[in-house]
Amino acid sequence: MKFFVDTADIADIKELAATGLLDGVTTNPTLIAKSGRDVFEVLEEICAVVSGPVSAEVTATDAENMIEEGKRLSRIAKNIAIKVPLTLDGLKACRHFSDKGVMVNVTLCFSAAQAILAAKAGARFISPFVGRLDDIGQDGLGLIREICEIYRQYDAFKTEVLVASVRHPIHIVESARLGAHVATIPPKVIKQLFHHPLTDKGLEMFLRDWEKTGQKIA
């Protein structure tokens, strides 16, 4: 499974990129707004740090203006993925860019039917929002299961399942078990993956025993 980080905070991106675990970045208008910076400046800086896909979302709601915004965003760097909503106009824009070899991330997916449409429109990524479905009492991971099962039936579907709205490590582990290609994860949740009480306890014991030897390695 590929790990994308869901943030526009360049400090978090640099820290996680240094681990070698980061495969890409997703942003959205909300995350850009939180950064308090110019959208083009932020995206250019992110693309200089991360070589994998960097999702940049359009804000227009009609296909014509989505395409114009997408063209401008795609000029930032070769690894920009244009992010469009799962609407009729969004899928028109998706087909426009996919036909030109530009990566497209179709976002705000909440049903398997929508995921089929995105794949047929040539999306590189489909972003089902598991956490938001869980929030209203629906089965977010069940949607991941459905989409992965459907996509496996058709060799012509090249769309990758990008699990979004991740709330906790269980979303990541279970999505990986189901065969999702990518998870886009908030920085704090990525850091939660590192922690286990037995790891901390074991390290504390090893260091305590090593100190008793009075030795140094370097």
pLDDT tens per residue across span 81-119:
999 999 999 999 999 999 999 999 999 999 999 999 999
**H/E element, 163:** strand 160-163
Predicted pLDDT at 218: 86
* Catalytic-role residue among 83, 92, 158, 201: 83
- Cα atoms found within 13 Å of the Cα of residue 128, Cβ hemisphere only: 33
What is the pLDDT averaged over residues 6-31?
A: 96
Chain position carrying tokens 């089929």: 116
Residue with tokens 């996680």: 16
- Confidence category of residue 43, pLDDT binned at 50, 70, 90: very high
3-state helix, strand, coil in the chain (%, to 5): 50, 15, 30
Cα angle for residues 199, 200, 203 (degrees, 5° grid): 85
Q: What is the arithmetic mean of pLDDT over 38-49?
A: 96
Confidence of residue 53 (pLDDT cuts 50, 70, 90): very high
Q: Quick one: how many helices (H) and strands (E) in the chain? A: 11, 8
pTM (2 decimals)?
A: 0.94
Q: 4 CB contacts (<8 Å, ≥6 apart)?
A: 22, 23, 24, 25, 26, 52, 53, 55, 162, 182, 183, 184, 185
- Residue type present at position 112: A
Question: What is the percentage of the chain residues whose pLDDT exceeds 70?
Answer: 100
Domains of the chain (ranges plus CATH)?
2-213 (3.20.20.70)
CA distance linking residue 5 with residue 8, whole number of Å: 9
Active site residue 14: no
